[in-house]
Amino acid sequence: MKKKLIIDVDTGVDDAQAIMMALAAPDVEILAITCCHGNTPLENVLKNTLRVLKVCNRLDIPVYRGCAVPLLAPKRNAGDYHGKDGLGDVPDPDAPGLDLLQKRNGVKAMIKLVKQNPGEVTLVATAPLTNLAVAVQLEPSFPEKLKALYIMGGNTNSRGNTSVCGEFNFVADSEAAYVVLDRYTCPTYIATWEFSCRSSLPWSFCDQWFASGSEKAVFMKKISSLSMKKAQSAEYQKEITAGKGFNSCDTYAMAAAIDDTIITESEKVAVTVELEGKFTRGMMVLDYMELLKKKHKVTIMKKVDLEKFKKLLMDALK
């Protein structure tokens, strides 16, 4: 039996890497890709997702339009890192048109697919969690029909990358993150910002990764150039990743969804999201004292088998 995935993305560079990783995994079936605002405005996310599928010769996979704005938070993007278009500002004149998109709304499609495959679908969320929050509002039983949920987002040590204490996906729609962590009681696994930073890829590996010269490798090198340059720049020198290598955040959640043995250390803890703090809005809160009295605990990834992870990345560009 192939693992059935729905991937919820805001396709920037690392989402592209995560999608390509899933496409290359032989025992994975991607039922759909749903798109959300985030790294770049929704129209760009849609175009970028189709571009990735085109280079992988997989335009047969259905792509859906999801939420264009957060539930309540002001809109924000990450154009300084991913490029204004979300894929490194290296446009493709022959990119697929949006006429290839499915007509059904992305959130409704997600609900329908999970209803048709109860207990079989793993949802991998690498974007702000707006689509997931709307899904549970429309269909309260949606989470219990999922096999599992893998999230890239949040933090464990109050180390931010967007605000003082907030990771981008959780800051971009903090209310949605709160709703998802409160109402999704399926097995939930989180690849946090600090975890991905600790597991960053050596620059020497990146050179090797692009070296095959395949069409996919040429594409990946081109779209990654801007963000890699940014990661090596002086203004990033205070970041935890500085100088250590490239942090492909979203691919850690995807790798764990494809092969759970890739995570070598984790912990279970109840979590929530701060919504009111002046400096801490969007920060993930870990309830070690169990004061929240939550029955549902999430699995926080702590260590990864880097060699297995690198192999999944290498396979993605073959």
Indicate which CATH number applies to the domain containing 228.
3.90.245.10
Helix (H) or strand (E) holding 210: helix 203-210
pLDDT category of residue 233 using cuts at 50, 70 and 90: confident
Closest CA to 51 of 94, 99, 109, 102: 94
Give CA 221 to chain center in angstroms. 19
Q: What is the CA radius of gyration of the chain?
A: 18
Residue 130 CA to residue 212 CA, distance in Å, equals 37
User: Residue 236 has what pLDDT?
Assistant: 63
pLDDT category of residue 10 using cuts at 50, 70 and 90: very high
Is the per-residue pLDDT at 235 higher than 80?
A: no
Is the per-residue pLDDT at 267 higher than 90?
A: yes
| 148 SS3 class | strand
Residue 245 CA to residue 77 CA, distance in Å, equals 23
Q: What is the pLDDT of residues 84-139, one digit of tens each?
A: 999 999 999 999 999 999 999 999 999 999 999 999 999 999 999 999 999 999 99
Give CA 185 to chain center in angstroms. 19
Pairing relationship of beta strands 284-286 and 271-273 according to DSSP bridges: antiparallel
Section 157-165 average pLDDT? 89
pLDDT more than 90, % of the chain: 88
User: Residue 169 has what pLDDT?
Assistant: 98
Name which residue leads in pLDDT, 158 or 252: 252
Reported as half-sphere exposure (CB side, CA atoms, 13 A), residue 33 has a value of: 30
pLDDT category of residue 238 using cuts at 50, 70 and 90: low
**What is the tally of structural domains in the chain?**
1
**Known catalytic membership, residue 10:** yes
| 152 SS3 class | strand
At 243, give phi and psi (nearest 5°): 75, -15
pLDDT category of residue 237 using cuts at 50, 70 and 90: low
Structural domain harbouring 204 = 3-316
Q: What pTM does this model have?
A: 0.97
Section 24-45 average pLDDT? 98
pLDDT category of residue 159 using cuts at 50, 70 and 90: confident
User: Residue 230 has what pLDDT?
Assistant: 85
Strand ranges (E), 153-199: 188-191
Q: What is the pLDDT of residues 182-227, one digit of tens each?
A: 999 999 999 999 999 899 999 899 999 999 899 999 999 999 999 9
| 284 SS3 class | strand
Contact in structure between 287 and 176 (CB atoms under 8 Å): no
pLDDT more than 70, % of the chain: 97
Section 35-52 average pLDDT? 98
Closest CA to 192 of 273, 115, 116: 273
Helix (H) or strand (E) holding 35: strand 28-35
Which residues are 151's β-sheet partners? 125, 190
Q: Which of 8, 10, 14, 85 is catalytic?
A: 10
User: Residue 240 has what pLDDT?
Assistant: 54
**Residues of 81-116 as b/e, b for ≥16 C-beta within 10 angstroms?**
bbbebbbbeeebeeebeeeebeeebbbbbbbebbee
